[in-house]
Amino acid sequence: MTRSLASLSSSLTSHRSSSARFYSPTASMALVTPLLAVLLTGFLYPVARLISLSFSGGTLSHYRRIFTESLHLDVLFSTIEVALVVTLASVLLGFPVACMMARLRRGLAMAIAACVFIPLWTSVLIRSYAWVVFLQRNGIINKLLVDAGVTEGPLKLIYTQGAVILAMTHVLMPFMILPIYSALRALPPDYVRAARNLGAGPIRTFVAVTLPLSLPGVFAGSVMCFVLALGFYITPALVGGPGSMLMATLIGQQTTVLLDWPFAAALSTVLLVVTLLFVLLFRRTLSLSKGLNSVY
């Protein structure tokens, strides 16, 4: 028996050593070079060019214009506000859906997953136009309200900030549900059973066990939703109209209508800095559990 265990250990060791590959520094650099080239040409170089363009003329005049004219600051703060509201709404609406996907039987979970994935596979343009059909003056919602006698006439639902938040939340919801679902699926069910056996009720179990251990998924989903909401262009342009301008719409206006590329670069740089600051803030705020700190 001892001889067989020794031979098994020897065979595993030899298999591990024979299957392990060793690459020289030159070969390693040759393998990494294509990825570095793509990263350099597709991300670092455009960002560097964007930042350098914002300093055209060697002055800070474009940044001074952003922070001295109230219109641009109002658009920036409105964009941050909309992104935060959309992220919060996605968490509140997406967490129960992710919990159902993680806890229900396979058939029901797959049905809910289909409801999440099918909109994700649909174009953002189509989904935005669908909300225009729902919310317009003669749309489905206004017709239902008038026919039911709730309102005497059509309400102004389209081209408002609320319509933008509603449509953006619908578009970004899958990006919140999937990370939370992944975190909940990795949660051992024994933890919940142990908490219930020790006398904790459903609410106490959720607050003390489920929620802290699901924070990695909440963090990942919040970062994705917030970053995507900051740069959203199609949905605010279609649903919000000219009265609901966000930073992406303002940058597009500067590049395509006014052809002021240096000022558009300055706006993009400010938006990039704000995005990075909020990502760091999200990480510090949501680093409440040991599991989240261990991931990062």
pLDDT in tens, 269-287: 999 999 888 888 877 776 6
Better-scored residue on pLDDT, 111 or 24 = 111
CATH number at residue 162: 1.10.3720.10
| The pLDDT value given to residue 21 | 58
Task: Check pLDDT > 90 for residue 86.
Answer: yes
Domain assignment of residue 146, yes or no:
yes
b/e 149-185 (16+ beta carbons within 10 angstroms → b): eeeeebeebbbbbebbbbbbbbbbbbbbbbbbbbbbe
5 — pLDDT class (breaks 50, 70, 90): very low
Average pLDDT over the chain reads: 82
Task: Read off the pLDDT of each residue in 248-252 and give the average, rounded to a whole number.
Answer: 88
Domain assignment of residue 4, yes or no:
no
| The pLDDT value given to residue 19 | 40
Range of the domain at 141: 53-295
Task: Check pLDDT > 50 for residue 88.
Answer: yes
17 — pLDDT class (breaks 50, 70, 90): very low
| The pLDDT value given to residue 62 | 87
| The pLDDT value given to residue 6 | 47
| The pLDDT value given to residue 18 | 43
| The pLDDT value given to residue 47 | 86
Better-scored residue on pLDDT, 6 or 54 = 54
Task: Check pLDDT > 50 for residue 9.
Answer: no
Domain assignment of residue 59, yes or no:
yes
Domain assignment of residue 65, yes or no:
yes
Task: Check pLDDT > 70 for residue 289.
Answer: no
Domain assignment of residue 176, yes or no:
yes
Task: Read off the pLDDT of each residue in 27-35 and give the average, rounded to a whole number.
Answer: 82
Domain assignment of residue 75, yes or no:
yes
What predicted TM-score, i.e. pTM, was given to this entire model? 0.80
Residue % of the chain over a pLDDT of 70: 89
pLDDT tens, position by position, 66-78: 888 888 889 999 9
Domain assignment of residue 142, yes or no:
yes
Task: Read off the pLDDT of each residue in 30-50 and give the average, rounded to a whole number.
Answer: 85
| The pLDDT value given to residue 286 | 64
245 — pLDDT class (breaks 50, 70, 90): confident
Task: Check pLDDT > 60 for residue 14.
Answer: no
Domain assignment of residue 2, yes or no:
no
| The pLDDT value given to residue 288 | 53
Residue % of the chain over a pLDDT of 90: 16
Count of domains forming the chain: 1
| The pLDDT value given to residue 145 | 84
pLDDT tens, position by position, 128-187: 888 888 888 888 888 888 888 788 888 888 888 889 999 999 999 999 999 999 888 888
